[in-house]
Structure 1
Amino acid sequence: MRISSVTMFEQSVSSMNRQQSDFLKVSQQIASGRRVVNPSDDPQAASRAVGVDQARAVTQQHADSRVSARNALAQTESVLNSVSDAVTSAKTLMIQASSDTLSDADRQSVASELRGVYETLIGQANATDGNGRHLFGGYNDSTEPFVKKEGGVEYVGDSNNREQRIDASRLMKVSDNGQAIFQSVPSGAGHVATAGDGNNGNVTFKGPQIVDQEEVEPNEPYTISFGGDAASGYTYTVKDSSGTVAGPEGYEPDSEEPVRIEFDGLALELEGEPVDGDTIAVKPADQGNTDLFTTLENALGVLENPTENAADKAALRNTLSTSMRELDNSLDNVLTTRASVGARLNELDVVDSVGGNRMINYEQTLSDLVDLDYAEAIGEYSLRQVGLQASQKAFADMKGMSLFQFL
């Protein structure tokens, strides 16, 4: 068989090109730190790596979302802490104003402080986050959720709560709407007593208290109506929403001890003398006033007006008593919401830990699929370099071979 010079040259060039290609491939792997530089290097590993990389990117997005959610919840928790302090301060002022030793001027001074607390609470209810979004406006967070109008403070925000996906299977509430915080009471808040607007007597009340939980009708409102006079004797009638619960009974005011009346597991202590037609309403907390701002407005209304007679003083004491009970319910509601925010912050820490472990697993899997074993690659690099040099040396030696040298 004859081997021509062209054949030898072509085979030698082909061998050098192959050796050079293998050498450059290893060089590229070392430079990039990846075993799979092109999908053709390992199609199966490249395909799996794409899926793992996409899952890692989604996990990272959820991690970024948790950062945003944590910031919003931390700001909410901080504002709610300030709100609870303000409500506590308002109740302290009302207790101070309830003292019979204060004059009208003293109560005006207390009212001035209370109005400052009232304005502070409105500002906190309209608080914003670092991006200018209102915390308690629901999805309508571009405008102030609470607006002062002639009839009081009105909520104009959204009734929904903003939610954010913090993990593939977890959609978390990252804000609570202001209506649920400032205009609601917690479940099981009990009953609240309120004196009738048209009362002319000086009866004041304390309570109600629960004396028998099993007899209490949780959703039942009551109306206590007074009749008679000092000469013929006073009476009272307790009615629920469907009719009379307790018929007329004698009511004998005592200047030293309050009169205690009981009905359906509840008890109310009364002092003073009523006027025929006076009433006291006893309602479940969620059926009465649940608005924190209305509570403060009612208290300010009686504190800023002078007390001219016994009926005015009774109205003052009754309004403050009702307002303090409503403040207790509002504070419980704020604290319940704050506890919920704290629980969500704790959950974020747990989900962060799980997400961090998941990211480590993805990184390890991706490394196993496409990353380079440098020790093996350097050995391969040296071997390919020797092969390339050998093919070049062989070609250099072979190209000088010719029969004409022997003629």
Structure 2
Amino acid sequence: MRISTIQAFNNGNQGIQDNYAKVIRTQEQVSSGKRLLSPADDPVASVRLLQLDQEANRLGQFKSNMSAATNSLNQEEATLNSVTNILQRVREITLQAGNGALDSSDRQALAQELTEREEELFGLFNSRNARGEYLFGGFQSQTPPFVRNPDATYSYEGDQGQRSIQIAGSKQVAINDNGKDLFVDVGNVNRVVTEANAVNTGNARVSLGVVEDKKAYDTQFYPNNTLSITIGAGGTSYEIYGDANPAVLLASGTIEPNDDKSQQIRVAGVVVNLDGDLNAGDEFSITRGAALPPGDPRIADSGEKRSILQNIAFLRATLENTGNSTEDKLVRRDKLAVSLENIDNAMNSVLSVQTSIGARLNVIESTGDENAEVSLINTKVQAELSELDYAEALSRLSMESIVLQAAQQSYVKISGLSLFNFLR
């Protein structure tokens, strides 16, 4: 093979430039601490690093989401603790109001405190989180969920949605609870209407009906709309029939004489009291509130649900509007019993959501630990792919420097070779 002088010069020059480029690249790696200076250095590792960067950004967003969710849930939990404390005080007032030694002024004082407690609850139901979003409005987080109407009643203006936030690749957590499920749709124990037949010859009255066993009520009352209690001969027994066709005897029993002339009767999950003298043939009815005709004024107090604010207003009106007559005392007894049961239902509803919040906070905590472990693994893999092994790099830099020096020295010698040097 014939090699020209110019070819020898070019080959030597190219060799020096290639070796110099290697030295410069290794020196840049050492100074930056990075193994990959461009995607061309390792295309596969570069793609993997890009994926890991994207995953790190996702984990950072999840961490931010978990912080926002934790703050919102902690604030909701604190709000519900305050609601529970108020309901506990309302329960104490209800029990206190049943004291027969209280006079009208005492009951008015208790009613005034209920007014303040009602206002306090109204404010709590419209609480916001740190971002200014209403906690209990469902998806409607920018407008107050509860509003006071001109007639002093309350309306829920939110929806039944539940906002969620993503805290992991396939995991979301709810960050609020809607006020309708929590504060409005509270089970009402007084979901039946009771009435004494106008032609009864005895003077007994029937108390408000209380649903003490909802399962029995749901399965045994239906398909009847109304149950009829008929007093037997001598006023010493009773039979209860439904209005379904054919009528079926649902219950019967003996009326035991007692000093206060009060008889407690249970049927289909409902309990009522008959107070006063009972005569043969007297009849009393128990009607499902849902079966009342539209527009019946009794529907307001006999619905399947009764909101917390509505129940407190019901209790307050009871204390304000009942006097000291025997009838008033019996009415007050019945309404206080209903209020007490409904307050317990409300407290159970709040407690159920508090339990759910605790579970959600636990999920956030455990997910945060999982994300932290994934982030640590990602950081380790990123370091393995991108960070420089200084021992190897410095050794390589030394070797490449020696090769460069050798190339430079050999170039000097080769550049001095020429046929003209032998023609002297």
- TM norm structure 1: 0.83
SS of equivalent to 2:221: coil
Structure 2 counterpart of 1:254: 258
Give aligned pairs, total.
399
Contact 1:77 1:341 in 2 (8 A): yes
Say whether 1:358 aligns with 2:362: no
Say whether 1:184 aligns with 2:185: yes
C-alpha change, 1:25 and 1:288, in structure 2 (3 Å) is same
Deviation at 1:307, TM superposition (A): 0.9
CA distance in 2, matches of 1:380, 1:283: 90
CA distance in 1, matches of 2:207, 2:137: 39
Structure 1 counterpart of 2:175: 174
C-alpha change, 1:304 and 1:397, in structure 2 (3 Å) is farther
SS of equivalent to 1:171: strand
Deviation at 1:82, TM superposition (A): 1.3
CA distance in 2, matches of 1:289, 1:224: 21
SS of equivalent to 2:161: coil
Say whether 1:15 aligns with 2:19: no
C-alpha change, 1:323 and 1:224, in structure 2 (3 Å) is farther
Structure 2 counterpart of 1:46: 46
Say whether 1:349 aligns with 2:365: yes
Q: Give the AA of the match of 2:19.
A: Q
C-alpha change, 1:169 and 1:239, in structure 2 (3 Å) is farther
Task: Judge which range, 339-348 or 58-67, deviates more.
Answer: 58-67
Q: Give the AA of the match of 2:139.
A: Y
CA distance in 2, matches of 1:87, 1:130: 25
Deviation at 1:224, TM superposition (A): 6.3
**Residue pairs, 1:203-222, within 5 angstroms:** 204=207, 209=212, 217-218=218-219, 220=221
CA distance in 1, matches of 2:178, 2:71: 17
Say whether 1:61 aligns with 2:61: yes
CA distance in 2, matches of 1:308, 1:334: 35
SS of equivalent to 2:321: coil
**Residue pairs, 1:233-382, within 5 angstroms:** 238=240, 242=244, 245-246=249-250, 254-256=258-260, 258-264=262-268, 267-272=271-276, 288-307=304-323, 309-382=325-398
Structure 2 counterpart of 1:84: 84
Structure 2 counterpart of 1:123: 123
Deviation at 1:402, TM superposition (A): 7.3
Deviation at 1:262, TM superposition (A): 2.8
Q: Give the AA of the match of 2:352.
A: T
Deviation per residue, 1:87-127 (Å, 9 max, x gap): 11111111111111101100111111111111111111110
Deviation per residue, 1:226-269 (Å, 9 max, x gap): 788xxx85987745574665589786773347423232465545
SS of equivalent to 1:136: coil
Task: Judge which range, 99-108 or 167-176, deviates more.
Answer: 167-176
CA distance in 1, matches of 2:211, 2:160: 32
Contact 1:75 1:129 in 2 (8 A): yes
Deviation per residue, 1:344-369 (Å, 9 max, x gap): 11111121122122222222222222
SS of equivalent to 1:304: helix
Deviation at 1:68, TM superposition (A): 1.6
CA distance in 2, matches of 1:241, 1:121: 42
Deviation at 1:168, TM superposition (A): 1.6
CA distance in 2, matches of 1:372, 1:241: 88
CA distance in 2, matches of 1:90, 1:44: 68
Q: Give the AA of the match of 2:78.
A: S
Q: Give the AA of the match of 1:126.
A: N
CA distance in 1, matches of 2:216, 2:127: 43
CA distance in 1, matches of 2:102, 2:74: 41
Structure 2 gaps, min length 5:
291-300
Deviation at 1:17, TM superposition (A): 1.7
Q: Give the AA of the match of 1:351.
A: T
Deviation per residue, 1:125-170 (Å, 9 max, x gap): 1100011100010111101000011261110001111112222212
Deviation at 1:308, TM superposition (A): 5.2
CA distance in 2, matches of 1:38, 1:177: 52
Structure 1 counterpart of 2:104: 104
Say whether 1:28 aligns with 2:28: yes
Structure 1 gaps, min length 5:
none
C-alpha change, 1:316 and 1:95, in structure 2 (3 Å) is same
CA distance in 2, matches of 1:378, 1:392: 21
Q: Give the AA of the match of 1:117.
A: R
Structure 2 counterpart of 1:159: 160
C-alpha change, 1:251 and 1:311, in structure 2 (3 Å) is farther
CA distance in 1, matches of 2:277, 2:262: 11
Task: Judge which range, 49-58 or 5-14, deviates more.
Answer: 5-14
CA distance in 2, matches of 1:136, 1:170: 22
CA distance in 2, matches of 1:241, 1:384: 103
SS of equivalent to 1:57: helix
Contact 1:63 1:352 in 2 (8 A): yes
Percent of paired sites with the same residue: 27
CA distance in 1, matches of 2:278, 2:119: 36
